[in-house]
Amino acid sequence: MPIYQDILLSADPHKVFKTLTSSDDFGAMTGQPADMDVNAGGAFTCFNGQISGRFIELTLGKQIVQAWRPGNWDAGVHSIVRIDLAPDKAGTRLTLFHDAYPPEFEPHLEAGWDKMYWDPLKAFLTSS
């Protein structure tokens, strides 16, 4: 069953998009190195290489789709992460769909999005 999360952020969709796809901004947000080739088919790593994959689709300020995997999964196993961004009176409504992951990892992934992505993203957006 896919993980679905809906987050309200106090920044415009272009700022959120840039933060999630820029090596420098993502690294500043998490405090860990990130390397992102922001093109369809481009590779990315974040959290000092703990997460890696490829950008499948990118629509500036609107959508990020990735083949996404943590380093502790079996070789060749990827999941699909889709992040939709929409303007909202508060700034941005971010909707996450995470699917096709090994089912035994669901509890860890569900909690990890808040802890590793959304909480740092909220703090970064309010401080920058």
Which pTM does this prediction carry?
Answer: 0.95
As a whole number of angstroms, the distance between CA 87 and CA 110 comes to 24
Residue type present at position 94: L
Q: Spell out the CATH class of 3-127.
A: alpha beta
For the segment 57-107, what is each residue's pLDDT rounded down to a tens digit?
Answer: 999 999 999 999 999 999 999 999 999 999 999 899 999 999 999 999 999
If you average pLDDT over every residue of the chain, what do you get? 96
